[in-house]
Amino acid sequence: MHATSRPPADPARALSAMDHLIAAHVIGQQELARRLGVNVTDLTCFAFVLEAGADLLTAGDLAARAHVTTGAVTGILNRLERAGYVTRRPDPDDRRRVRVAAVPEAVTRVEAVYAGHYARLTELFAGYTADELAVLTDWFTRATALAHEYLEKLNGNDSAEPC
């Protein structure tokens, strides 16, 4: 695979491109959530459940990943369970806790909705060299860590203070 010639960029241009990607993603998530009959927060939490796979999350795990309270996650799980996306199972190690499992039919529905987009993204990534993909992966990983730090500051900060 050969590197493709790309236009010159600087941090400001990269930030602008990132802002456009995030905006498109947010709008897309809202539409996909609407089509699936859930809200965006619930869809995001369902994605965390899917990502965990067989290592079922507890409600507390899900609350931490979604940066919401355990009370809020109870409402999220109630809605996802009513909509047929998840089931709660007793934790074999601690009977006070429950684990959250994805309903297989819901997984199939969600994967079908995302399949075309992920196929196009996979095709897009195929146009990059292994070294370029390593840089992209590093950037996404580090930017995600910064986003989580920002969320922690937002959640614990007086709204009058800058984050």
Work out the angle at residue 122's Cα, subtended by the Cα atoms of residues 66 and 148, and round it to the nearest 5 degrees. 20
CATH of 24-113, one of 2.40.30.10, 1.10.10.10, 1.10.3720.10, 3.30.230.10: 1.10.10.10
- For the chain, which residues make up each domain, given as ranges? 24-113, 126-156
What pLDDT does residue 66 have?
A: 94
Closest alpha carbon to 89 in 60, 47, 57: 57
- HEC profile for 56-109? CEEHHHHHHHHCCCHHHHHHHHHHHHHCCCEEEEEECCEEEEEEEEECHHHHHH
- Each residue's pLDDT tens digit in the chain (163 positions)? 555 677 888 999 999 999 999 999 999 999 999 999 999 999 999 999 999 999 999 999 999 999 999 999 999 999 999 999 999 999 999 988 999 999 999 999 999 999 999 999 999 999 999 999 999 999 999 999 999 899 888 888 666 667 6
What residues contact 96, with CB distance under 8 A and at least 6 apart? none
The CA distances from residue 8 to 5, 11, 12, 13, 14, in Å, are: 9, 11, 12, 9, 10
Contact 87, 99 (CB under 8 A): no
What pLDDT does residue 116 have?
A: 95
